[in-house]
Amino acid sequence: MGGDFAPANEVRGAADALAERPGRFSVVLVGQQDRVDEELRKLEAERHTFPRKHLSIVHAPEVISMEDGPTAALRTKKQSSITVGLELQKNGKAQAFVSAGNTGAVLSASTLILGRVEGVGRPTIGALVPTVKSPCFLVDAGANVDCKPRHLFEFGVMGTIYMSALANVSSPRVGLLNVGEEESKGNETVQESYRLLKESRLNFVGNVEGRDVLKGEVDVIVCDGFAGNILLKFGESIPAFFKSKFTAFAARGIRNKFIALIARNGLRGVMKELDYQEHGGVPLLGVNGVTIIGHGRSTPKAIKNMIFRAEEMVRKDVNGQIKKALEQYHG
Amino acid sequence: MGGDFAPANEVRGAADALAERPGRFSVVLVGQQDRVDEELRKLEAERHTFPRKHLSIVHAPEVISMEDGPTAALRTKKQSSITVGLELQKNGKAQAFVSAGNTGAVLSASTLILGRVEGVGRPTIGALVPTVKSPCFLVDAGANVDCKPRHLFEFGVMGTIYMSALANVSSPRVGLLNVGEEESKGNETVQESYRLLKESRLNFVGNVEGRDVLKGEVDVIVCDGFAGNILLKFGESIPAFFKSKFTAFAARGIRNKFIALIARNGLRGVMKELDYQEHGGVPLLGVNGVTIIGHGRSTPKAIKNMIFRAEEMVRKDVNGQIKKALEQYHG
């Protein structure tokens, strides 16, 4: 209910997911019953063909807005779609939770309601970043702004599991985001993290600088949520920057206008890769369950992809693998 | 002597600077005499017209390479161009130092040989970042990976002085790089820095997120050197990313190839703004003197611009202004 276009995009995305992969999963829509019903009626009027029997509704009267603090789901709005949805998972009535609502609220409610996977100190959010080769997984993407070396190490483990299970990368290459290539670079936390990663059984390839992120030479980039958040949001803003510069270019004469007109299509394809929506949400890793968090302005397509990803995480038992890996890599 | 194309680009850049603005300054070339002489002979053979009388050479036999540690200039190679050049400034025989050599070595040698401006805890490097409006000044750009709130505050002061003195921005707007807009965002260091900046007489406008950097709504962005370095290097790598994606686009059919061919010129202009060389080096602020540090692969044009900037910093007494401002803002 908390997404920018909720519940319209959520309902449509769920219906699209069920239509595209019928029989693979069922979807429980958690939210204000009347508003969800209204969206379903719209789909029926359009003759949207999705298996209605695999869709159910659980009423949740309250809405956590984007302005609410991260503890709202647990303290003041216990009947929100976030709380009710996560409780379903905790009580075994669902196996995954997908939301385009308040990120902080989903994050803290997931951690507190679902608990952590054994061995995990800090659940984390990872995000796929486009590169000149295959996308790489940046972890932490903003969940933990203050991290100890042990946490950064765990991010490397969780990122490795995620990329091997969901992107079919065998032995994912792990890099540590730093200000230089040498082991001695960065602050004490980063240096100690380097040591932990190097001594582990992970496929650690060393430090990765800002200029290396888009090169695609690693599959997992480990960093704290401060650097990760800033890097990701900066990356997301690049298309708008180019659009603005290109518009200014086109305004300088008829020849430029012609060039810009022709170039637009080519650029659009390239920019699309930097578009958040295409990837459809980021996984919360390390909680005892599955949570996928989407952008507030998630499109139906993004919601659909988030549902597919959630189903895959359940099917591939990512949490079981994380637990086992943490035992193994520590030992 | 330590730049990737030294001393060719350095000598040519100095000659170009003298030719373009004769009588404004003189240049002392510090390096291996025979190699510098050789480059000067090349310019003479080309009939490069620059005022030779404003150019002198001081011999420095040793070279600090890019692989040398940051203390090499002071410990093992005391006859390097970095050490000798900075000593000239310390002894009043020069007023500024420009180098495309080993950044860490120039940074630490400048701090130790020149000393710090009164009131400055940590000298810092700032860099101009392109935005959709005017460039903004990101400080720290990589000199200090671990910072206390007091240091971040000082970066805000030094950035303000720099932008008002060298970019003619009156009352520069200062933003703090953070993971959200609210005062409560970020780790403890960032939160305390927010308080210091807010309580000061600086024109502090609040937090700036990664997505805001390119918007150009602030003139100075304050951050520690870890985030700053990663952000800058990431930004520098964007043109290569687009070039690679665009080449792949062009390879998909003759129609795409045609579009790409026409679009190339438009793109080139936009990408140029992201090019480091155009800005020509970054200032080291807070040392008792003037040091401009360039990229290892600085072109003659970049060297020329670095010399112009150094002259301007001396003429406008940036250090005197920093000293006065720190007294004023603290008081």
pLDDT tens digits, one per residue of B192-238: 999 999 999 999 999 999 999 999 999 999 999 999 999 999 998 88
Q: Tens of pLDDT along A209-233?
A: 999 999 999 999 999 999 999 999 9
| Average of per-residue pLDDT across B37-64 | 96
Interface test with A, best of B193, B224, B230 (most A CBs within 10 A): B230
Pick from A146, A241, A248: which is nearest to B234 by CA?
A: A241
The encoded tokens of residue B47 equal 């009939």
- Where does residue A248 rank: exposed (0-12), middle (13-18), buried (19+ CB within 10 A)? middle
| Backbone φ/ψ region at A171: left (φ over 0), alpha (ψ -120 to 50), beta | left
pLDDT above 80: residue B277? no
**Cβ atoms within 10 Å, residue B78:** 15
Whether the CB-CB separation of B291 and B83 falls below 8 Å is answered with no
With contact defined as beta carbons under 8 Å apart, do A145 and A169 qualify?
no
Q: What is the pTM of this model?
A: 0.91
Residue B305 in this model has a pLDDT that exceeds 80: yes
Of A26, A55, A23, A20, give the one whose Cα is nearest residue A39: A55
Report residue B227 as tokens: 């985030």
A320 CB-near residues (< 8 Å, 6+ apart): none
Residue of A nearest to B143 (CA): A179
Burial label, B70 (beta-carbon count in 10 A; 0-12, 13-18, 19+): middle
Contact A269 B249 (CB under 8 A): yes
Beta bridge partners of A206: A175
User: Minimal Cα distance from A264: which residue of B?
Assistant: B263
> Is residue B218 classed as helix, strand or coil in its secondary structure?
coil
pLDDT on residue A76? 87
Nearest one of A225, A268, A228 to A246, comparing CA atoms: A268
pLDDT at B223: 98
- Which residues does chain B have within 8 Å of residue A179's beta carbon, measured at their own beta carbons? 142, 145, 225-226, 229-230
Contact assignment for B214 to A240 by CB distance below 8 Å: yes
DSSP-derived 3-state class of residue B84? helix
**CB-CB under 8 Å, B211 with A237:** yes
Cα nearest neighbour of A263 on chain B = B263
Question: Are residues A270 and B246, on separate chains, in Cβ contact within 8 Å?
Answer: yes
Closest residue, chain B, to A246 (C-alpha) = B270
Q: B225 near B140, Cβ under 8 Å?
A: yes
Mean pLDDT, rounded, for B14-28: 97
CB atoms within 10 A of CB A28: 17
Sign (positive or negative) of CA dihedral A278, A103, A94, A63: negative
Residues 6+ apart with CB under 8 A from A227: A177, B226, B227, B230
What is the C-alpha radius of gyration for chain A, rounded to an integer number of angstroms? Answer: 21
Tokens of A119: 């061995």
Amino acid at B35: R
Average pLDDT over residues B56-84: 90
Q: Is the dihedral of CA B277, B280, B283, B284 positive or negative?
A: positive
3-state secondary structure of A305: helix
Total length of chain B: 331
Q: How far apart are CA B59 and CA B36, in angstroms?
A: 9
Mean model confidence pLDDT for chain A: 92
Which range among A70-79, A114-123, A230-239 shows the weakest confidence by mean pLDDT?
Answer: A70-79
Residue B325: its H or E element: helix B318-330
pLDDT of residue B331: 47
- Tell me whether strands A124-129 and A136-139 are parallel, antiparallel or unpaired: antiparallel
What is the reported pLDDT for B256? 83
Q: Which residues partner with A116 through β-bridges? A: A287
CA B61 to chain centre: 26
Residues of chain A positioned with their CB less than 8 A from the CB of B210: 229-237
Contact predicate B123/B286, CB 8 Å: yes
| Mean pLDDT across B114-118 | 95
Dist CA B168 CA B256 (whole Å): 44
Tell me how far apart the alpha carbons of residues B107 and B97 are, in angstroms, rounded to a whole number: 11
Average pLDDT over residues B271-279: 63
- The answer to whether the Cβ–Cβ distance between B229 and A179 falls below 8 Å is yes
Nearby residues of B168 by Cβ (< 8 Å), 6 or more positions away: none
Residue B145 token pair: 């990976």
Residue A331 has pLDDT above 50, yes or no: no
Amino acid at B75: R
Interchain pair B266, A260: CB under 8 A: yes
- Complete edge-to-edge strand list for the sheet that includes strand B282-285: B97-99, B291-293, B282-285, B124-129, B136-139, B220-222, B173-177, B203-208
- Average pLDDT in the B127-152 region? 94
Cα distance between residue B135 and residue B319, in whole Å? 22
Nearest by CB: B237 against A214, A242, A259: A214
SS3 A246: helix
The secondary structure element, H or E, covering residue B59 is: strand B55-59
Q: What is the pLDDT of residue B275?
A: 63
From A209-213, B109-113, B259-263, the region with the lowest mean pLDDT: B259-263
Q: Give the span between the Cα atoms of A212 and B135, in whole angstroms.
A: 24
Strands B136-139 and B220-222: parallel
Taking CA atoms, what residue in B is nearest to A176?
B230
Q: Closest Cα to residue B176, out of B155, B147, B145, B161?
A: B155
pLDDT at A329 over 70: no
Closest CA to A110 of A119, A101, A223: A101
Q: Mean per-residue pLDDT for A74-95?
A: 94
Percent of residues in chain A assigned helix, strand, coil, to nearest 5:
50, 15, 35
Cβ pairs A/B, distance under 8 A: 146
Cβ–Cβ under 8 Å, residues B163 and B322: no
A151 pLDDT above the threshold of 60: yes
Alpha-carbon distances of A19 from A47, A277, A301, A309, B264, rounded to whole Å: 12, 20, 12, 16, 42
Instruction: Closest CB to A262: pick one of B237, B263, B270.
Output: B263
Other CB atoms within 10 Å distance of the CB of residue A198 = 13
